[in-house]
Structure 1
Amino acid sequence: MPKWYEEQSKQSDVVISSRIRLARNFAKYPFSPKLTLEQAELLCEEIHNHLEEKKTKLEEIVGKYYYYNVIKASEIEKEALVERHIITKKLAQKKQPTGVIMTEDESVSLMLNEEDHIRIQAISSGMNLLPLLEKANAIDDFISESLQYAFDDKLGYLTSSPTNIGTGLRASIMVYLPALGISGKMDKLIDEVSQQDVSIRGVYGEGNKSLAYIYQISNCKTIGMSECDIIQNLITIVDQIIKQERNRREYLLDSNFDKYEDQVYRSYGVLRYAKQISTADAMTLLAQIKFGYDSKIIASEETPSFYKLMMAIQPANLQKILGKNAGVKERERARAKFLNESLPELIHL
């Protein structure tokens, strides 16, 4: 079955994906940081068994799914799930019983005993927050039919961290912002949106910096606003950022087309013929090639799925492709070979 990130979507020149996450806890258990080993095991078993008893109904909502016992997985398997954004690093590193329920296309995942008892995540390519919220809420309602959530009439859903209390909703849109990044506009943009209860962080890299110019834009406020208001605020801001990015790209190409054309072709040449390459260098070059495709500097019969390639060349997922553990040097050679073979021949425009 194709994965969600293999789908092409509108606005793919800027928007990579949308994600909805709902944080929930159950009234009968302490918050996850306070769970004993026995309680953590009972929690995971109870949720898993509840879902299995009504599997047909749940599959009507999400499609085919399976349960993955994270605590029993190898370190590479866990890291590969983190790299594909199915689970968080926090879940991967937990020593208590944990698990994840995920669909075959990886568009829906339910993390068990992460920071909260359950985190419902729905993700898709493109900007689709409202349909994703509808799906996440359907899963939420399905679970609450039999299991009682920790809920306060004044505060809303009770969560392990005060930053999630209320709706428990974290909505986010992953975007590709090369022109704003190249132009040094990101720090100002991050400061501006923070005043509107929205955060921007680099997906790959530390702090505000991001390899491949990929950023995640998310709501900060989860209480005092409805779910729809939170999402509409985020969509309005992202629409403005998309416009800024496209305008900046047009300016860069108008002012120095030869420079960026050369960068795109150089990047393509390196990835087509390199014999070894690091993750960071490959990500940077893929981002430059994507810029070339989006700007119609280069083209091929079939446009590559750049985000799919970016996830595939991460260390753990690359080792899964290889089917074995591999050291840094072996991974660098394998990464280069994979990209040599994955990039299509260019056509003349």
Structure 2
Amino acid sequence: MRFSTLMKHPADWMIGKNVNNEVVVTSRIRLARNLRDLSFPGWAKKAERVAAMDKMRPKVEALKVMKNGFSHELSELEPLQKQVLVERHLISREQAARGQGSAAVVDRGQRLSLMINEEDHLRMQSIRAGLRLREAHQLLSKVDSALEKDLEFAYDDELGYLTACPTNLGTGMRASAMLHLPALVLTEQIGQVLQAVNKIGLAVRGLFGEGTESLGHLFQISNQATLGESEEVIISRLERVIAQIETHETNARLKMLEDEPNQLSDKIGRAYGILGYATMFDSKEAFSHISLLRMGAAMGYFPEGTMQACDSMMMEIQPAHLQLHAGAELEPEERDIIRAEILRSRLQTLTAPAINIITNDIVGGSEITGDLNFENE
């Protein structure tokens, strides 16, 4: 599959059909693996990295799930193309900075992505829409088992899988979920929730992982420790915490609708109006307005399909996607203008929010009181 073909098709997890992804947008499982008796990529010389890639890449491409997939060495891609893959969460920012000896292999549905010679020899990840960590894990486990028949991974009976970063020792697994939490942000409860999450050893990151900020009220929550715990224990704990955060976000939305329906309608209506008429947007502002539309869609202000349209817009307006759309590198101000043009065009296809039909006869909704404690969940 060519890069242009990959870009024509939205990822399966972006569409979110028949899946509840109003709060939990995506689930992701990532496994880190290294070849036995070979230097980790960060220590290997170029010739060693190329040799390792040549050993792994054919095995990955031969996987049944990778039939007619996308496979490219990163040195063959333009910087803009690599950044687009980052924005689609198919490769990491760290791998995008690498060149010869690194490759990316992605299945047609963009559910499965294998990064060759990132920080580890193999970084395998599976992404699914909604809270479906177990489905993502099941798919990745099959891939891991299939590759282990042909590739000898570095493993220690006491430490587990050996990885470049000590925090990945053991299972080598990172489980994470991307959550959309606008109501907790607007009601100023988000700090309390995130503090409680940090207390139990889970990590909270921005849209693109470690070191990035939250855009569009999107937060990524994942496990930090992988040593001494089974994959089942890690996933079960994360599922419980994510489900509780989802409940708090849902309650916060209902509380806003119950206590301040006019203010809520105003926020959603203003976001729709601004997106439909503004002539310049930076990423942060655009994401914030789209986030409010997405929340409104989940709460019944818009017809079915609007939430998926919001997810597509969030992808389309990111810097690399904008420049790919324009066919040229753009200065920040040029990107802001084109971003607004795209959003105005998309808003023309969306039905205006049905402010007058929203009622207050919804049971439930409460503020968070006291300290949150996920440890016993």
Q: TM-score, normalised by structure 1?
A: 0.93
Indicate yes or no: 2:240 matched with 1:240.
no
Distance (Å, rounded) in 2 between the aligned partners of 1:161 and 1:204: 19
Q: Give secondary structure in 2 for the equivalent of 1:34.
A: coil
Pick from 60, 83, 86 the counterpart of residue 87 of structure 2: 83
Could you give the per-residue CA deviations for residues 285-329 of structure 1, whole angstroms, max 9, x where no partner exists?
101111222222x21364242222111100101111222222223
Indicate yes or no: 2:331 matched with 1:327.
yes
Name the amino acid aligned to 1:339.
Answer: L
Moved more, 80-89 or 315-324: 315-324
Pick from 285, 290, 293 the counterpart of residue 281 of structure 1: 285
Q: How does 1:65-76 map to 2 (within 5 A)?
A: 65-76=69-80
| Alpha-carbon shift at residue 209 of structure 1 (Å) | 5.5
Q: How does 1:184-333 map to 2 (within 5 A)?
A: 184-203=188-207, 210-296=214-300, 298-300=301-303, 302-305=305-308, 306-333=310-337
Alignment length (residue pairs): 343
Distance (Å, rounded) in 2 between the aligned partners of 1:265 and 1:182: 16
Distance (Å, rounded) in 1 between the aligned partners of 2:318 and 2:66: 27
Pick from 145, 154, 159 the counterpart of residue 150 of structure 1: 154
Q: Is the 1:271–1:285 Cα contact (8 Å) retained in structure 2?
A: yes
Correspondence for 1:342: 346
Q: Is the 1:202–1:215 Cα contact (8 Å) retained in structure 2?
A: yes
Distance (Å, rounded) in 2 between the aligned partners of 1:221 and 1:9: 33
Q: Is the 2:128–2:135 Cα contact (8 Å) retained in structure 1?
A: no
Indicate yes or no: 2:96 matched with 1:98.
no
Residues 302/173 of structure 1: CA separation in 2 closer, same or farther (3 Å cut): closer
Distance (Å, rounded) in 1 between the aligned partners of 2:93 and 2:208: 14
Correspondence for 1:17: 26
Q: Give secondary structure in 2 for the equivalent of 1:26.
A: coil
Indicate yes or no: 2:116 matched with 1:116.
no
Distance (Å, rounded) in 2 between the aligned partners of 1:159 and 1:108: 21
% identical aligned pairs: 32
Name the amino acid aligned to 1:179.
Answer: A
Distance (Å, rounded) in 1 between the aligned partners of 2:176 and 2:210: 18
Q: Is the 2:180–2:219 Cα contact (8 Å) retained in structure 1?
A: yes
Indicate yes or no: 2:44 matched with 1:40.
no
Pick from 6, 11, 30 the counterpart of residue 3 of structure 1: 11
Distance (Å, rounded) in 2 between the aligned partners of 1:184 and 1:62: 44
Q: Is the 1:200–1:208 Cα contact (8 Å) retained in structure 2?
A: no
| Alpha-carbon shift at residue 82 of structure 1 (Å) | 0.8
Pick from 167, 170, 174 the counterpart of residue 171 of structure 2: 167
Name the amino acid aligned to 2:255.
Answer: Y
Could you give the per-residue CA deviations for residues 198-222 of structure 1, whole angstroms, max 9, x where no partner exists?
2222226996962211001101121
Q: TM-score, normalised by structure 2?
A: 0.86
For structure 2, the residue ranges without an aligned partner over 5 or more in a row are 1-8, 358-377
Correspondence for 2:5: none
Q: Is the 1:187–1:208 Cα contact (8 Å) retained in structure 2?
A: no
Q: Is the 1:101–1:109 Cα contact (8 Å) retained in structure 2?
A: yes
Could you give the per-residue CA deviations for residues 37-60 of structure 1, whole angstroms, max 9, x where no partner exists?
1000111111112334xx2xx12x
For structure 1, the residue ranges without an aligned partner over 5 or more in a row are none
Distance (Å, rounded) in 2 between the aligned partners of 1:141 and 1:180: 40
Distance (Å, rounded) in 1 between the aligned partners of 2:217 and 2:178: 10
Q: Is the 2:68–2:107 Cα contact (8 Å) retained in structure 1?
A: yes
Distance (Å, rounded) in 2 between the aligned partners of 1:294 and 1:66: 33
Correspondence for 2:363: none
Residues 32/209 of structure 1: CA separation in 2 closer, same or farther (3 Å cut): closer
Q: Is the 1:21–1:119 Cα contact (8 Å) retained in structure 2?
A: yes
Residues 246/347 of structure 1: CA separation in 2 closer, same or farther (3 Å cut): closer
| Alpha-carbon shift at residue 267 of structure 1 (Å) | 0.8
Moved more, 142-151 or 64-73: 64-73
Q: Give secondary structure in 2 for the equivalent of 1:32.
A: coil
Distance (Å, rounded) in 2 between the aligned partners of 1:51 and 1:290: 37
| Alpha-carbon shift at residue 63 of structure 1 (Å) | 4.9
Q: Give secondary structure in 1 for the equivalent of 2:294.
A: helix
Distance (Å, rounded) in 2 between the aligned partners of 1:341 and 1:126: 28
Alignment RMSD: 1.9
